[in-house]
Structure 1
Amino acid sequence: MSRRSPRVPLTPKEGWLSDGRQVLRFRPTHGERTYQRLEITSGELLPGEAVSLLKNRREISRDEALKLWGEKRKAGWVPCSPLW
């Protein structure tokens, strides 16, 4: 899973990251070639619960999303399967 793609796709796709307790969902909302936005939803995994606790939702630019993804990966977060 730690294999990195050499290029960033032109059209963003949904992606998930987790540090084992917290989760981030990256979901495209606007996809024009010159203006791309992603919705970032954060949640928390609760022990013994089947459903994650959703904490925050915001929309950011593609560039900001790429920066956030990179920062989280450097901090040890790993891609995961969808959790909600």
Structure 2
Amino acid sequence: MHLGNRHRPPLSPQEAWLSDGRQVLHFRPTRWDRWCQQLEVTVGELLPDQPVPLLKRRLELSREEALKLWSERRKEGWQPTKAQWRPPQAPAKE
């Protein structure tokens, strides 16, 4: 049974994290439909005396831009990592 190319990015949105030991990138799908696929990328800085990274900035990128950023960072030696902070929760509906 052929499972396809395991190095191909997923077709459905997934949350993911990368780190180089000093910084963290959090990729999170924000809009995902047939015509528009965007991800929010949050950049954080790891501080030795803090339990979670200091959030520096947020970017809204197309799927293509996010894949390019992911690929560039992986080539630079960044490694996938576990979640570094919890994403904001949607308000409860009444």
CA RMSD after TM alignment: 1.3
Determine whether 1:55 maps to 2:48: no
1:21-32 paired onto structure 2 within 5 Å = 21-32=22-33
Q: Which residue of 2 aligns with 1:65?
A: 66
Higher CA-based Rg: 2
> Residue 49 of structure 1: SS of its match in structure 2?
coil
- List alignment gaps of at least 5 residues for structure 1: none
> Residue 63 of structure 1: SS of its match in structure 2?
helix
Give 1:71 deviation, angstroms: 0.1
Q: Which moved more, 1:6-15 or 1:24-33?
A: 6-15
> TM-score of the superposition, structure 2-length normalised?
0.81
1:4-43 paired onto structure 2 within 5 Å = 5-43=6-44
Q: Which moved more, 1:46-55 or 1:17-26?
A: 46-55
- Identical columns (%): 60
Letter of the 1:59 counterpart: E
- List alignment gaps of at least 5 residues for structure 2: 86-94
Q: Number of residues paired by the alignment?
A: 81
Give 1:66 deviation, angstroms: 0.2
Give 1:33 deviation, angstroms: 2.5
Higher relative contact order (CA 8 A, sep 6+): 1
Give 1:26 deviation, angstroms: 0.3
